[in-house]
A = this chain, B = another copy of it.
Amino acid sequence: MTSRDVARAAGVSQATVSLVLGDKWRGRVSERTAGAVRAAAQRLEYRPNLAARSLRLGTARTVLLVVPALTNEYFARVYAGAERVAAEHGFGLVLYPSPEGVGPARDPFPSARAALDGVIASSMAAGALRAISGAAGPGAGGLPLVMLDSEPGGPGTAATVNPDLAHGMRLAVGHLAGLGHRRFAHVAAAVDSWTFRVRREVFDAEVGALAGGSAVRETSGLDVARGRDAAVRALTGPGPRPTALVCDDDLLAAGACKAVRRLGLRVPQDVSVTGFDDLSLATAVDPELTTVRLPAGEAGAAGMRALLAALAGEPAPSAELPVSLVVRGSTGPAPGVRPNG
């Protein structure tokens, strides 16, 4: 079914069909004719050929979202938020989950796979992004680029959207300090990303500012098993045992809880644990995790809004999104401290 078929069926020219269906017919086509065209299109189940449309228009109304891995629920939520905003503006959203650990053999040019108007990328998928942009320098192969989870002001970047991680870390440490904890451990993700650097720096600053505060750090890959191992190291290292484990995300926190129990201790009576993200995992484990909720969906939405603004030639607003602390069962008063004491 082409627009010409519809035209034939309605007894008009192809141009008229395009005008009517494109909603540009006011004062150019009579009400009667417009109705006939719409009826014919409906009856024939006409769907415009998007390849032809974007060829003519020079725009595909499509955006690429580059994420490190779909198996992480956080990015699934980012996608959902971005998709919602895209759909509201008549844009499509295509996903490029960068392959993890399977080597560089895979198609390095998803941008060649679809006609794209712009790119939103998480800094945690930096490798994939580099493959997309090639050696073309900053930006995503000349396309407007919005970065998520990345240091503001990167070269070739139209805007940057981040959750307020510094504030999140302050909330977590403050909550634990208020419960009487002084000996902290940071179970940190061993990922070279700005977002984790921020966590480290703010953690150090906050614990350092605490009278009598002390801290150790163990780093770990981003999964439950390695989080558990890192937490075991943190709890069995030299010096007095930490009573609070601040973890860089919920997977690590789940692993940390397992470590505590493996050492014959209890959560939260002996050791308190906090995470980041507030994934569904946080309420799947026992006890449920106290965690810093990051607005993943809103991050995707804000990123998409910024990109659409950039595409429209307007200034793209960077954003720092508010976060909150969700207190659940994995944190409690430090050993030897009375509740409400």
Measuring CB to CB, which residues of chain A are less than 8 angstroms from any residue of chain B? 45, 47-52, 54-55, 60, 62, 69-71, 73, 76-77, 79-80, 83-84, 87, 92, 94-95, 97, 99, 106-107, 109-115, 134, 136, 141, 223-225, 251, 254-255, 257-258, 261, 280-281, 283-286
Contacts and interface: CB of A to CB of B under 8 A. Distances in A.
Interface centre among A45, A51, A83, A99 (most CB of B within 10 A): A51
A69 B92 CA distance: 17
A284 B84 CA distance: 31
A92 B71 contact: no
Nearest to A262: B286
A284 B76 contact: no
A286 B284 contact: no
A49 B55 contact: yes
List the 8 closest pairs (A to B, CB-CB), nearest first. A70-B76, A92-B113, A51-B55, A224-B284, A51-B54, A254-B284, A71-B76, A51-B51
B136 A45 contact: yes
A294 to B, nearest CB: 15
A111 B48 CA distance: 11
Assembly stoichiometry (copies): 2
A223 B87 contact: no
Nearest to A134: B45
Contact of A76 (B45, B55, B76, B112): B76
Nearest to A61: B113
A134 B83 CA distance: 21
Contacts of A49: 55, 115
Contact of A251 (B48, B97, B261, B284): B284
Nearest to A227: B284
A113 B63 CA distance: 11
Interface centre among A136, A141, A284 (most CB of B within 10 A): A284
Contact of A285 (B92, B109, B141, B285): B285
B113 A50 contact: yes
Nearest to A260: B286
Contact of A79 (B97, B110, B257): B97
A155 to B, nearest CB: 18
A301 to B, nearest CB: 13
B285 A284 contact: yes
B87 A283 contact: no
B71 A77 contact: yes
A119 to B, nearest CB: 14
B87 A79 contact: no
A254 to B, nearest CB: 4
A169 B131 CA distance: 43
